[in-house]
Amino acid sequence: MVTTPTRDPSSNVMSLPLPSPKAPPEYPDLYGKRREMAKVQMLEREISFLEEELKSSEGFQPASKCCKEIADFVMANSDPLLPTTKKNRKTCRLWKWLCRMRCLNLSWICCRCCDCFSGCCNCKQNCKCSSCLSSTKCSLSNWCCCFDKKSHCCKEFCGCNNCCCILSGCNFRWPFPSCCDCKCSCSCTCPSFPKVRPCGSCTKC
């Protein structure tokens, strides 16, 4: 409010009115507004990123496939921190139990853990066994039963008529009677002539 100057009656001087305090001018808070707008823009950008991600997630492969990839990778690579000759018995027992569950199709992994047991191996994929017996029925086509000659199978030609079966490592039933380690015994008779070598080389079971 502008006040008009007044004349002092005692003198001829015009005196200016006393200043009256005024409120500071209202400047627009541009910095705060711009900051808030920037935050809103960032949130809108995050929303569009999430919408894009949601759309792209429709074509993703199921998690089970990812798990299989991990298992395949782990089994295919050796590890210095893991024993190679000694089997992890606890893990083998778990896999044996899992592999016997017919409702679970774990054949893709059953043959990679421990020995080939109670199931079928895909002989084309890193079969540790030296021979595949295609005569044994497998639940999966083009698969065959894989036997490791060393531990589960008998030598085909023992060279003797009698085989003593020592059931080492055979903890499951197979249709083959020769699932054992072969020790041959020879039965021989000593001839009557004294110049002939005695039967010292024959061993009994």
Partner 1 sequence: MTCAFSPTGQSVACGGLDSVCSIFNLNSPTDRDGNLNVSRMLSGHKGYVSSCQYVPGEDTHLITGSGDQTCVLWDITTGLRTSVFGGEFQSGHTADVLSISINGSNSKMFVSGSCDATARLWDTRVASRAVRTFHGHEGDVNSVKFFPDGNRFGTGSEDGTCRLFDIRTGHQLQVYNQQHSGDNEMAHVTSIAFSISGRLLIAGYTNGDCYVWDTLLAKVVLNLGSLQNSHEGRITCLGLSADGSALCTGSWDTNLKIWAFGGHRKVI
CA distance 58 to 94: 35
HEC profile for 41-52? HHHHHHHHHHHH
82 binds partner 1 (CB under 8 A): yes
| Residues of this chain, 143-202, that bind partner 1 according to CB under 8 A | none
State which of residues 7, 17, 33, 38 lies at the interface with partner 1 (CB under 8 A). 38
Q: Give the N- to C-terminal CA distance of the chain in Å, as an integer.
A: 129
70 binds partner 1 (CB under 8 A): yes
77 binds partner 1 (CB under 8 A): yes
CA distance 176 to 17: 124
40 binds partner 1 (CB under 8 A): no
Torsion of CA 8, 11, 12, 13, to 10 degrees: -60
140 binds partner 1 (CB under 8 A): no
State which of residues 29, 44, 51, 69 lies at the interface with partner 1 (CB under 8 A). 69
127 CB neighbour count, 10 Å cutoff: 18
Q: Which stretch binds partner 1 (CB under 8 A): 5-13, 24-32, 64-72, 133-141?
A: 64-72
Residue numbers at the binding site for partner 1 (CB under 8 A) = 38, 42, 45-46, 49, 53, 57, 60-61, 63, 66-67, 69-71, 73-74, 77-83, 91, 94
